[in-house]
Structure 1
Amino acid sequence: MYAEERQQAMAQLVTEHGRLSVAAIAEQFDVTTETVRRDLSTLERMGLVRRVHGGAVPASSLAVIESGLGERDQANTTQKELIAKAALDQLPPPGGTVLLDAGTTTSRFAIMLPRDHRLTVITHAVPVAARLAGLPQIDLHLLPGRVRSTTQAAVGADTVTAINRLRVDVAFLGTNGISVEHGLSTPDPDEAAVKRAIVGAARRVVCLTDSSKAGTDASVRFAALDEIDVVVTDDHLPVGDRVAFEVAGLEVVTA
């Protein structure tokens, strides 16, 4: 079966069943899960399916809904704790400057910052700032902007302009999706604009993401893989995704 024929059959099968997992599709067509992910990405770009965690649904059946901060904070909590701890090795030397993105994993990372490691920390995330305010080793700077209720993070032109003026040692970044085909992505255009500015402001960019985001795409890309230096994730990352990320030039650190 040619790739185009397989993809057409996949789209029809997803439409008939309403939702199918990557594993079930791979078994049905006797191909690898990596091939299925590539095919689903192609079908999503064509508007025939919509990728979701672990599989796909018909494009017409899914509204793009961004999870709130509280809901996301309850997902994969153990992995996020381990990722945050492992990411501490990516800190710049004492006296360095760090830009912290919004997100549940970056918030955990902020809590774990060592008390004997002096840093300048810049963030647009209200929860991150609340965790760091008053710590003697942290010179904290909170960026301006309109605060979104969904993520409790400042976004908008003022936020992007402020970040564009910065040059920091390391940025620690969250993402809703990461794939070889689409790079790093998020559902909201305003959030994507801020994340894009964060990537451009840092000498070194570290992405903190649990493995459930690997191989998935949100609607708005904010960075290509070659714009990121390191991804810190958990040990459930599929081998195929790890190899693909490393081939793309990413250093992969598993917690």
Structure 2
Amino acid sequence: MYAEERQQHIVDHARRVGRVDVAELSAELTVTGETIRRDLSVLERHGLLRRVHGGAIPVERLGFEPALAARDELLTAEKDRIAKAALAEVPEEGAILLDAGSTTARLAEILPGDRKLTVLTNALPTALSVATRSHLNVLFIGGRIRGRTLACVDPWALDALGQSYVEIAFLATNGISVERGLTTPDQAEAAVKRAMIAAARRVVLLADHTKLSADHLARFGDLNEVDTFITDTGLDERTAAEIESRGPTVIRT
């Protein structure tokens, strides 16, 4: 197992059970305790875990939110596949909305050059990425920029979304569960995401499997408000079927 795979396993396990133990991981993965401690140090630097005596706990349990750069470095292959699958949802013309997030940013990078689209986004990196493409009409949803996610929030963003209507909103989320729907750590971002759902004819959620059952402070939507949920094969078929029973079509790629 490569270091990246081992570290992803550690993060997944921590999110699933609430903590990880160095000795248990060392035995399970057949590596030394020192190797596990190095992995935990790497994951802590990336803002994904917080070291505690004998192990680590996921930052979500402490109310922390990983920065965009840290999230962008994980599950890159899965996020690329999700973004490519989302291309099938992009219309030939019309208006679409791109939420702030590491997977939605990948979709922005591969938007086809032969479609006449108006792209609304509250994500500063996404706006900069697509602004120079002559075939796209880019509308930046302004407001206060959150340094952690580089997303615009608060009244200016909400006012702009309240006056907009798009064909499809491509949404990101920090957490998704059958019990609690869609959640995110920040209340201001939750308000913007709710406004995005209200501004769209269809909602397509882009999220890798690690977002499953990771519930956060602010709830912004129900599963029945999502038309299509595109994720990776790390989501098992049983859970996918349970999610589909609540409304959205689930695509595992």
TM-score (ref. length: structure 1):
0.76
Q: Paired residue for 2:103?
A: 105
Q: Is the 8 A contact 2:78 2:208 kept in 1?
A: yes
Q: Paired residue for 1:42?
A: none
Kindly provide the amino acid, as one letter, of the partner of residue 82 in structure 2.
I
Q: Paired residue for 1:71?
A: 70
Kindly provide the amino acid, as one letter, of the partner of residue 84 in structure 1.
A
Structure 2: distance between partners of 1:124 and 1:137: 20
Q: Paired residue for 1:19?
A: 19
Q: Is the 8 A contact 1:99 1:121 kept in 2?
A: yes
Per-residue deviation, 1:95: 2.2
Structure 2: distance between partners of 1:18 and 1:107: 29
Kindly provide the amino acid, as one letter, of the partner of residue 71 in structure 1.
A
TM-score (ref. length: structure 2):
0.76
Structure 2: distance between partners of 1:65 and 1:18: 14
**1:20 and 1:128, CA in 2 relative to 1: closer, same or farther beyond 3 A?**
same
What is the identity percentage for the equivalent residue pairs of Structure 1 and Structure 2?
Answer: 43
RMSD, aligned α-carbons? 2.3
Q: Paired residue for 1:48?
A: none
Kindly provide the amino acid, as one letter, of the partner of residue 86 in structure 2.
A
Q: Paired residue for 1:142?
A: 140
Q: Is the 8 A contact 2:20 2:57 kept in 1?
A: no
Per-residue deviation, 1:20: 6.3
Ranges in structure 2 where 5+ consecutive residues have no aligned partner: 1-16, 25-48, 50-55
Tell me which of 101, 115, 118 is aligned to 1:117: 115
**1:243 and 1:146, CA in 2 relative to 1: closer, same or farther beyond 3 A?**
same
Kindly provide the amino acid, as one letter, of the partner of residue 243 in structure 2.
F
Q: Which runs of 4+ in 1 moved over 2 A?
A: 17-21
Ranges in structure 1 where 5+ consecutive residues have no aligned partner: 1-16, 25-51
- Give the alignment of 1:67-216 within 5 angstroms: 67-92=66-91, 94-216=92-214
- Write the deviation string for residues 15-70 of structure 1: whole angstroms up to 9, x where unpaired: xx98369xx9xxxxxxxxxxxxxxxxxxxxxxxxxxx9xxxx999x9421000011
Q: Classify the secondary structure of the residue corresponding to 1:96.
A: strand
Structure 1: distance between partners of 2:18 and 2:238: 26
Kindly provide the amino acid, as one letter, of the partner of residue 117 in structure 2.
L
Per-residue deviation, 1:254: 1.5
Kindly provide the amino acid, as one letter, of the partner of residue 157 in structure 1.
P
Structure 2: distance between partners of 1:95 and 1:179: 33
**1:104 and 1:244, CA in 2 relative to 1: closer, same or farther beyond 3 A?**
same
**1:18 and 1:204, CA in 2 relative to 1: closer, same or farther beyond 3 A?**
closer
- Write the deviation string for residues 84-119 of structure 1: whole angstroms up to 9, x where unpaired: 000000112x22110110000010000010111110
Q: Is the 8 A contact 2:177 2:215 kept in 1?
A: yes
Structure 2: distance between partners of 1:254 and 1:239: 9
Q: Is the 8 A contact 2:165 2:199 kept in 1?
A: yes
Structure 1: distance between partners of 2:19 and 2:118: 46
Q: Is the 8 A contact 1:173 1:207 kept in 2?
A: yes
